[in-house]
Structure formats: C-alpha cells, structure tokens
Amino acid sequence: MNRFILSAILLTISAVSAQQENDLVKNLPGLLFEVNFKTYSGFVDANANGTWKMHYTLTESRSNPDADPLLVWFNGGPGCSSLGGLFEELGPFYVNYDGETLYENPYAWNAKANVLYLESPIGVGFSYDTTTPNYFQANDDQTAGQNFLALTNFFTVAQPKYANRTFFLSGESYAGIYIPMLTDLLTTAINNNSFPNPNFAGSAIGNGFMNVAGLLNALVLWSGYHGRISIQDWEQIKTQCVKGADIDYFDFSQFTNASNKIDFAGDGSVCGNLIDPLISQNAFGDGGFDQYNFYQECYDVSSFQAPAPTPAPGKRTKRASHFNGQSSIKKNLRKPNNLAFTGTSNLNANTAALINRYSNDNNWGYFCWNEDAVGKYLNTDAVQTALNIPQAWKDQKNTWQDCRDSIYNNYVLTYNTTNQFFKNIITNVKTDFRFLIYNGDVDTVCNYLGDAYHIKKVAEENNLTTNSRTPWFYSDNRQLAGYVQTYTGQNANNATITIDVLTVKGAGHMVPFDRAGPSVQMITNFIFAASKGNVNYTDNSNFDTNIKLSPLVTGSSSTNFTMFILAIVALFAF
C-alpha cells in the first residue's frame, strides 16, 4: 500500500515539474539584450472543471528570484490584457517600432520582485474558454472567482515553488475593482486555511476605478481647476447646480447618464450640459486630449498608418493618435547622429528635423506607438509558439488584442463602490496588511482626487488614524516625485493595517511608463516595507537609480538604434 502511495506522490511531483519545464520560455524572438532572469508563460485553470484557461506570464526577479516576493499584476479595462502592462509599462521587454524586436526597459518592476501577469477575465488576451470560442461574458463576481481559482492553480500546479513565498497583488484602472474583491476572497480563504499560500502581505492599486460616482464628481473639480472651463461657467455650476452646498462633496452624478455604468455623459438638463464638457474624455473630437495623460499629445494623425493590421479597441484605446510609419520625423529619428546616442558629435545634423511640432512629445515617445507594435509582435506565430500558446486557442481564430471591445461592451459592473470590500479586509485580516493607492496626478480616467476622497471615506468608516501628507523624492538627487499620506489602524485580531495614498507627479494613467524611475522605486519600497507596514518611499537603497543596461546580444544589427531607444527611455524615466 505504501508503495502505491509513494508512486502516486512521485507521479504528482513529476507532473508538476513537467508543467514548470513546459512553461519555461526558452527563446523569445527578437530579443536584443541579454537577460539574467527566467520567463515562464503558460495557463492555469480558472474554474473547477478546467474549461476556463487563464494565461499567465512570469518574469522572475533580476536580483534574487529564489527569495524575492511575488507581485501579481492585473490590467483593467475591463477587457484589457496584462501583457499590455508587461510590454508597454512595467515589464522588462519593450517592443521596437518594427513590431519584431525587443529592447530593454531598465526600470522594470522585476528589479527585486518576481512579477506574475494574469490575463483576466477569461476572453482577454490569450485566456480562453475551451468550449465556447471567443468567449466574452464577464461580471465582477465571476472575474473575482476566476482570479481566485487561477491563483490557487498557480501556487499548487503551475509554480508550486512559490507556495510559501510572500506575495502581493497589484494593478491599475479597473483593477481597482478586481483587487479589493480578490483581496477579500484571499483573506477569507487564508483565515479558513483553504488557500495554498498564507503569506499574503498587501495590495497596490494604481489609478484605481474604486468608486464610480466619486471619480466622476472629483473629475468635475479636477477639470474645473485645470483650465477646462471659464470662470463664468464655473460660477454658474455653483449657483444653479450646487446651490450653496459644499462643492467638494457634491453629487454631480445625478445629472448624468451611463448605459454601462462606466462611460458617463450629461443627461441633457441644465446642470448636465454644464458639467458634460468637464467629464468628457473624447480624445478624438474637437478639443480632444489624451484622457490618460492630460498634458501629453502624440503625433499628427492626418496621415496615420498602423504598422500592423491588428484590431484596435474602439474604447479605452491608450493614446489619442499614432505615428505615421513613413513620416520624415521617424526617418530622421532613425539616424543616430546625436552625441547622446552615439558618443560622437555631428554638428551638421539637422537637429530641427527631429522636432515634432505637432506635439509636446518631441522625442518619439514609446507611448505614442507601442500599442500597434505590441499587437504586431504578439500576433506573430513565432512569438506565440515561444509563449506556449496552444493550438486550441489558435483554432478559435482568435487575435491577441490589447483591449477587447466585446468584453468591455458586455461587461456587467456589479459593484459601483469598493467600500464593503475594504471594510471586510480591514476587519478580517489576522496578520499585518498594507495597501498602496497610487495615482498619476494628470490622469482624467481615474483621477487622484476621486481616489483620495474614496480612501478618506474608507479610513473614516474603519476608524483609521490620519497622518500628515508629505512629499517623497526619487533618486540620489532627491527630485520631487509626489506626495504621500498614510492611514493606520489595528483591528480586533491585533493586525496592523496601513493604507498609503500616494501621488506620482506628472504621471498619467500608466504610471510605470510615464514615471518609470519613481514607479519602480515606489513599488520596491512598498514590497520591502519596514515592520508594521512603515514605508519610506524616498529610500533608494532597495533600487539602484544609477541604471546599468544589460549587454546587447552579440551580432545584433540593431545595436545603434537600440542604444538610441534606450537613451529615450532614460530621458523619459522622470
């Protein structure tokens, strides 16, 4: 009998080891730099019968992968892929304009963390339903259940070596719904000894969609104080709509409509018409702007050419415009004739030709064209083979999309606020737990003011202590990176709860890209906090801000261009 038990155990261990080995990415196409970490790509079950397959990618730590914490990342949408986060924001790989090669992001979040990207919910990216092609049905409760089971499967089957590792959740945008719900499920299961990894230490939410009405109301204030309305119209809003009430807490949502509970517009009333220009996020019409970064423009779209025939989402598209692949700007920028790029000076170069006069982005920023480049790259057969994407996914005639319209348009928003989930977590955790609520301060999709008001309310409802708001700084030069305010408390289980509300100065919705250096310093300090959750975000001892680039792959014909791109990355790091 014992022999049979031993044989069963050995078979189980062998099967788990086989999945780990099969999920290893052995040769990522187009890689232009040498890597010192492992990447895994595979699938975990997101339901009991295994028909929902959630795709994961794991980039292990560049520092100490056998000991560093696990950081789980979710993009939002709803319907946007976390591979967008990997290849466009916080991951170590950025895709070149050709959609075929990868250059280094030296500010990647796997500096001292093993970062797990989950494409959630099912139907997003490479995640799929084995029985229903092009599955797109989703709601908040279903997504939370999928995420919980996917993490369970990750710790028990896909990568059990992480089952005793300290881990954190993180994400942005609609992950402001995903993360509090999943955190609530995890803490409850851990208390009941029904989750395989009890070492859950905290959650970080960036530019979170945590309170629908709160974000909308605060956007009116944010827009009013960022020059989007005349003094006369602002006075009219106060006299005809607010009517003597406290404008900071006034409910403007009563003058709006939203068919999907997410995209709001004025309801046609006098007050609705007054606030409609302030809550509008139309990035394409007259007076349009990049809703993800109020102060960022991209290239003139009069001669737009996409570098790949990849379907782009009609909503939640990241940038207002794209570059023309054959433009004179691009052609000039491909010539590395600048001292900063080549180490040699060419004073005869036409520097004026490098300036894009349609935009305040005169350095051909990655954010203006990365979505198309990433789409082309991830829809390449060789790349999908390297990422272990199965034939079953391809047989459904799927195309990888950064954000999937069918999920966004059909998604059922179940909870318009997350207060109840924060309350459950704060009440029930049995070990010290910390939250980081961070916001780029020029995002209009999920603005910093609305999130700050939301957490203030959470703190009041749960009797947390309010601490002073202070600046935090980036690098040895102590450049102002933003501001942070901390709420603290202790529950009946003697667990200390900490909530840090932090802004990142000058960043928009995609903080890890817009302020790459400060963001990696921020997240590294968060996961390596001092005892009782005390985080010094100015501390740069956990992350070397003096970036050292990895060696280029020997024989690469793209060396000069890659060095040029890396110089741009360094330029935009702060």
One domain, residues 3 and 43:
yes
| CA proximity to 438, closest of 429, 430, 448 | 448
What is the DSSP pairing of strand 265-266 with strand 102-104? unpaired
| CA proximity to 256, closest of 275, 243, 238, 283 | 275
H or E element at residue 232: helix 231-237
H or E element at residue 527: helix 516-527
Kindly tell me if the per-residue pLDDT of 3 is higher than 90: no
Q: Which tokens in the block code for residue 50? A: 């295994």
One domain, residues 235 and 310:
no
One domain, residues 168 and 238:
no
Angle, CA of 534, 540 and 544, to the nearest 5°:
140
State the sign of the Cα–Cα–Cα–Cα dihedral 201, 207, 212, 214. Answer: positive
Within a domain: 499: no
Q: Inter-axis angle of helices 140-153 and 175-191, to 10 degrees?
A: 60
> Mind listing the pLDDT tens digit for each residue in 337-359?
333 334 444 444 444 454 444 44
Within a domain: 303: yes
349 CB neighbour count, 10 Å cutoff: 15
Q: Which tokens in the block code for residue 120? A: 């959630």
One domain, residues 165 and 260:
no
State the sign of the Cα–Cα–Cα–Cα dihedral 62, 206, 295, 287. Answer: positive
One domain, residues 292 and 179:
yes
477 — pLDDT class (breaks 50, 70, 90)? confident
Q: Provide the domain count of the chain.
A: 2
> Mind listing the pLDDT tens digit for each residue in 404-460?
999 999 999 999 999 999 999 999 999 999 999 999 999 999 999 999 999 999 999
Q: Which tokens in the block code for residue 33? A: 């730099």
375-392 as b/e: b if 16+ CB within 10 A: bbbbbbeebbebbbbeee
Within a domain: 474: no
Least confident of 134-148, 157-171, 176-190, 303-317: 303-317
DSSP H helix total and E strand total for the chain: 18, 16
- Check residues 513 and 354 and name the one with the higher pLDDT: 513
173 assigned to active site: yes
- Check residues 546 and 124 and name the one with the higher pLDDT: 124
One domain, residues 110 and 28:
yes
**What does the alpha-carbon distance between residue 260 and residue 54 come to, in Å, rounded to a whole number?**
25
Kindly tell me if the per-residue pLDDT of 543 is higher than 90: no
**Helix (H, G, I), strand (E, B), or coil: what is residue 114?**
strand
Kindly tell me if the per-residue pLDDT of 320 is higher than 80: no
One domain, residues 183 and 231:
no
**What does the alpha-carbon distance between residue 271 and residue 240 come to, in Å, rounded to a whole number?**
7
Q: In degrees rounded to 5, what are phi and psi of residue 552?
A: -75, 155
509 assigned to active site: yes
Of 55, 322, 454, 509, the catalytic one is 509
**Helix (H, G, I), strand (E, B), or coil: what is residue 169?**
strand
- Domain boundary (256, 279, 302) is at 279
Q: Which tokens in the block code for residue 465? A: 């202590």
pTM of the model: 0.87
One domain, residues 126 and 229:
no
Give the type of residue at 415: Y
Within a domain: 378: yes
Within a domain: 486: no
- Domain boundary (259, 279, 299) is at 279
Within a domain: 264: yes
**Helix (H, G, I), strand (E, B), or coil: what is residue 573?**
coil
273 CB neighbour count, 10 Å cutoff: 12
Kindly tell me if the per-residue pLDDT of 12 is higher than 70: no
Q: Are 388 and 42 in contact (CB under 8 A)?
A: yes
Write the CATH number for 294: 3.40.50.1820
Of 41, 82, 120, 173, the catalytic one is 173
One domain, residues 156 and 98:
yes
One domain, residues 39 and 110:
yes
- Domain boundary (279, 299, 328) is at 279
Q: Is 186 left (phi over 0), alpha (psi -120 to 50) or beta?
A: alpha
Within a domain: 422: yes
CA end-to-end span of the chain: 64
User: Best-predicted range by mean pLDDT among 218-227, 278-287, 525-534?
Assistant: 218-227
**Helix (H, G, I), strand (E, B), or coil: what is residue 543?**
coil
Within a domain: 571: yes
One domain, residues 176 and 294:
yes
One domain, residues 20 and 124:
yes
Q: In degrees rounded to 5, what are phi and psi of residue 468?
A: -65, 150
What is the DSSP pairing of strand 465-466 with strand 433-440? unpaired
- Classify residue 281 as exposed, middle or buried by CB count within 10 Å of its CB (0-12, 13-18, 19+): middle
User: Best-predicted range by mean pLDDT among 506-515, 539-548, 557-566?
Assistant: 506-515
Residues in the chain: 574
Least confident of 108-122, 214-228, 414-428: 214-228
**What is the pLDDT, as a whole number, of residue 332?**
39
Of 402, 405, 443, 451, the catalytic one is 443
Cβ within 8 Å of residue 136, ≥6 positions away: 123, 404, 406, 407, 410
Cis previous bond, 196, omega within 30: no
Range of the domain at 551: 1-207+288-433+517-574
443 assigned to active site: yes
> Mind listing the pLDDT tens digit for each residue in 62-88?
999 999 999 999 999 999 999 999 999
